Amino acid sequence: MSSNKPVSSPNSQRKSWVPIVLILIAVGYVALVLLIPAANVFYQAFSKGFGPFVDTLKLHDFQVAVGLTISLALIAVPVNTFFGLCAAWALARKRFPGRTLILSIIDLPFSISPVVAGLMIVLVYGRVGWLGPWLLDHNIQVVFAFPGMVLATIFVSLPFVAREVIPVLEEVGPEQEEAAKILGANEWQTFWRVTLPNIRWGLLYGVLLTNARAMGEFGAVAVVSGNIAGKTQSLPLFVEEAYKNYQTESAYGAAVILGLLAVFTLVVQELLERRTRIKEVE
């Protein structure tokens, strides 16, 4: 294939098979690890037609799981977006000792195992936890209930917005904001009219990733939810439970919904990246 030839150099011209072999290895590896398993989700869900899939959609536990997953995202995404914006605005404009440390602390949820994150929540809010007795006295249930699942979801999806927005803010620089201030804009106007338009693609990207993680989180939510079907079972938990009970069709029916979420995330991500690339060229 002539299109596989690298740009031009006598050396690589002579060894034109090198790129082809490298491309084949790369594609083969990705196919084996990513593509075939991903295709399998859709194949398994629809290999026996739409019937089993529609049956899954009608299950009560499934519908509750979808509702719970959406509610978790509806709470976690705005809260973490607000925090992420605050943290980004505070951190991007200043250089001070310990700044990298704070950035690392914000990244902590990425490196802490989700199960350990869930365990932490149990140790704070659970029956034997530090706040547990007080919560019990006031009849507030956090662990093995919806609030705990919210906390777990917020924890694991905390860093995304801050992570995406900080580099954009750093790149834009403070000049435009300062100009707006000098022209008499207040903080809110500066943010709304100057900062937000500059960071909008990065922000959207961060929100998208937060949402994907919030809807897909398994480990942390599994620890704190108690996993009661039809009550505290989010969609990923439903997938695992159905699979363990040999209800493979239900498992794949729900998995397809989550798989579509992933496809949606990747497509929007690609579009956003193209946007930023076009902007860079300009």
Partner 1 sequence: MTTTTTPIPPTQPLPGSRAKSQNWLSKLWHLHWTWRVTWGYLAVMLLIPTVLMLLKAIQEGPGKFWEVATSPIALSTYDVTFVTAFIAAVINGLFGTLIAWVLIRYTFPGKRFLEGVIDLPFALPTAVAGLTLATVYSNNGWIGSMFAPFGIQISFTRLGVGIAMVFISLPFVVRTVQPVLGEIEKELEEAAWCLGASQWQTFWRVLLPPILPAILTGIALGFSRAVGEYGSTVIISSNIPFKDLIAPVLVFQNLEAYDYTGATIIGTVMLLLSLLLLFVINFIQAWGQRYVIK
Q: In a 10 Å sphere around its CB, with 0-12 CB exposed, 13-18 middle and 19+ buried, how is residue 97 labelled?
A: exposed
Taking CB under 8 A as the rule, does residue 30 contact partner 1?
yes
Contacts of 140 (CB under 8 A, 6+ apart): 147
Q: Should residue 123 be labelled a site residue for partner 1 when binding is judged by CB under 8 A?
A: yes
d(CA 85, CA 260): 28
Between residue 94 and residue 113, which ones bind partner 1 under the rule CB under 8 A?
Answer: 94, 100, 102, 104-113
Quick one: 262 exposed, middle or buried, by C-beta within 10 A (0-12, 13-18, 19+)?
A: middle
CB of residue 51 to partner 1, shortest distance in Å: 20
Under rule CB under 8 A, residue 75 binds partner 1 = no
Residues 82, 157 contacting (CB under 8 angstroms): no
**Which residues in 208-227 contact partner 1 (CB under 8 A)?**
209, 212, 215-219, 222-223
By CB under 8 A, tell whether 89 contacts partner 1.
yes
CB of 202 to partner 1, least distance (A): 16
Does residue 266 bind partner 1 (CB under 8 A)? yes
Considering the complex, what minimum distance in angstroms separates the CB of residue 276 from partner 1?
Answer: 13
The CB-side HSE value for 194 (13 A sphere, CA atoms) comes to 22
CB of 58 to partner 1, least distance (A): 21
Site for partner 1 in 227-246 (CB under 8 A): 235-237, 239-240, 243
Q: How many angstroms separate the CA atoms of 206 and 161, rounded? A: 4
Please select the residue that binds partner 1; options are 200, 261, 272, 275, rule is CB under 8 A.
261
CA 60 from centroid of its chain's CA atoms:
27
- How many CB atoms are closer than 10 A to CB 159? 23
Q: Tell me: does residue 70 bind partner 1 (CB under 8 A).
A: no
Task: Identify which range of 52-60, 165-173, 197-205, 267-275 contacts partner 1 by CB under 8 A.
Answer: 267-275
Contact between 136 and partner 1 per CB under 8 A: no
Query: Out of 61, 68, 252, 253, which residue is the one contacting partner 1 (CB under 8 A)?
Result: 252
Query: Does 155 interact with partner 1 (rule: CB under 8 A)?
Result: yes
Of the pair 74, 263, the CB lying nearest partner 1 is at: 263
**Quick one: the chain helix, strand, coil %, rounded to 5?**
80, 0, 20
